[in-house]
Amino acid sequence: MLLKTGIIGIGNAGNMVAAEANSSKEMPVIGLNTSERDLDAVKSRTAIQTYFIGNGDGAGKDRTKSKAAMKDHLKELIGDDEFKKFMDSIEVCFIVSSTGGGTGSGTAPMICDVLSSIYQNINFIMVGILPTIGESVGAQRNTVEYIAEVNRLNLPYMLFDNSEAGTESTNDVFDRINHDVVEAVSVIRGDYNLLSRYGMIDAGDMTKLITLPGMIHMNLLQGIYQEKIPTDGSIEDLIIESLKKNTMVQLDRDKIVKRRGYIVNLTEDLQPYFNKDFPKITELYGEPVEVFDHYAVNQDDEKANFVILIQSGLSLPENRLKKIQHRIQAAEEALKKQKESSILDSLSESVSQFDGTKDVNRVKRESVNLDDILGKY
């Protein structure tokens, strides 16, 4: 049985994820934004339910501004009949946004806090999309504040990272992240849980796996062929390589994993290369307290071979946060620096030598209008 999942996409990044989930997976979604222009762009792609917050100009990367707008509209939003209908139709709610912008970063934790208090029968999962490390210091600062607020909620969350999406064009990076977020949600919904007599993760198992407070990390390895497996290697080696290319935030190796789940669909010839105990992954990331397994034998199409690894109850990604810290510190140091001299200083010194040799003709004014003078600057 599939879990009844839904997405609330906030800000432009969240809206685009919601639009893709609705069009490609027919998933119920809601879009929220402070920018009327961004909402129009979403509506041009798909007819999803959207809500406009604020005065239409967006938040301008300002979390405080977006929070104020949300406070003004929150009661109206949660009292809306269509919004209540959406909430009443789902069991798991994913609240998706960027972490570096203003609207999503500022309001997603607030909305999650409010809705999780009202709808205590629904499981909420925060999904944040981090900016690249090269983006503005403001985006990094917003990310730190977002993660701090999410951490205080003591709820499960997933973090995707634009820095891990490759070096393609910006559009390609965004498209890949959007796709991967939607796939992660569809995995949790149960789309990959094929019928099997060898052990299955049902809706109850999946709920237990993904509702533990802390970070959730997921890796989906598809298209597994025997020729891809290294000599004297295993499918686990392919998984470890795949983890390095994952668009989720890279895992710290602090050996803290509370729950692990795997969903497998492999042909008979690949079974000798698969070890359900994941000894190498356990050595890298730690031994889980609980394990949930779903093992199916692929008898239809060898192209459909896949292994999905889910780990939950993970710690904050300190290594990624340290990169943000270093980025902010470097910018702070640059702002503190002052040039010992500048071209203007040098020119001023040179010009001052001629002060006693030039005539100054000033036009006398009967009155002074400061606005006229300041208007030139």
Q: Are residues 186 and 253 in the same domain?
A: no
Q: Are residues 153 and 228 in the same domain?
A: no
Under-70 pLDDT residues of the chain? 35-47, 54-59, 302-303, 337-377
Q: Are residues 156 and 208 in the same domain?
A: no
CATH number of the domain residue 205 falls in: 3.30.1330.150
Distance between CA 133 and CA 369 in Å, rounded? 48
Q: Are residues 121 and 222 in the same domain?
A: no
Q: Are residues 267 and 320 in the same domain?
A: yes
Is 276 within a domain?
A: yes
Residue range of the domain that includes 303: 200-338
Is 34 within a domain?
A: yes
Q: Are residues 73 and 125 in the same domain?
A: yes
- What pLDDT does 373 receive? 43
Is 360 within a domain?
A: no
Q: Are residues 117 and 235 in the same domain?
A: no
User: pLDDT per residue over 129-138, tens digit each?
Assistant: 999 999 999 9
Which of 157, 191, 225 delimits the end of a domain? 191
Q: Are residues 32 and 171 in the same domain?
A: yes
Report the candidate in 189, 188, 191, 166 with the shortest Cα–Cα distance to residue 176: 166
Which of 168, 191, 214 delimits the end of a domain? 191
Q: Are strands 156-161 and 306-314 parallel, antiparallel or unpaired?
A: unpaired
CATH number of the domain residue 110 falls in: 3.40.50.1440
User: pLDDT per residue over 293-352, tens digit each?
Assistant: 999 998 877 668 999 999 999 999 999 999 999 999 988 887 776 555 566 666 666 666
Q: How many domains does the chain have?
A: 2
- What pLDDT does 284 receive? 94
Is 179 within a domain?
A: yes
Is 356 within a domain?
A: no
Phi/psi for 201 (5° steps) reads -90, 110
- What pLDDT does 34 receive? 79
Q: Are residues 175 and 227 in the same domain?
A: no
Length of the chain: 377
Is 346 within a domain?
A: no
SS3 of the chain: the string is CCCCEEEEEEHHHHHHHHHHHHHHHCCCEEEEEEEHHHHHHHHCCCCCEEEEEEEEECCCCCHHHHHHHHHHHHHHHHCCHHHHHHHHCCCEEEEEEECCCCHHHHHHHHHHHHHHHHCCCCEEEEEEEECCCCCCHHHHHHHHHHHHHHHHHCCEEEEEEHHHCCCCCHHHHHHHHHHHHHHHHHHHHCCCCCCCCCCCCCHHHHHHHHCCCEEEEEEEEECCCHHHCCCCCCHHHHHHHHHHCCCECCCCCCCCCCEEEEEEEECHHHHHHCCCCCHHHHHHHCCCCEEEEEEEECCCCHHHCEEEEEEEEECCCHHHHHHHHHHHHHHHHHHHCCCCCCHHHHHHHHHHCCHHHCCCCCCCCCCCCHHHHHCCC
Which of 191, 211, 230 delimits the end of a domain? 191
Report the candidate in 41, 48, 45 with the shortest Cα–Cα distance to residue 12: 41
* Rg of the chain, C-alpha, whole Å: 26
Q: Are residues 286 and 150 in the same domain?
A: no
Is 254 within a domain?
A: yes
Residue 294 CA, chain-centre distance (Å), reads: 27
Is 365 within a domain?
A: no
Q: Are residues 206 and 180 in the same domain?
A: no
Q: Are residues 227 and 102 in the same domain?
A: no
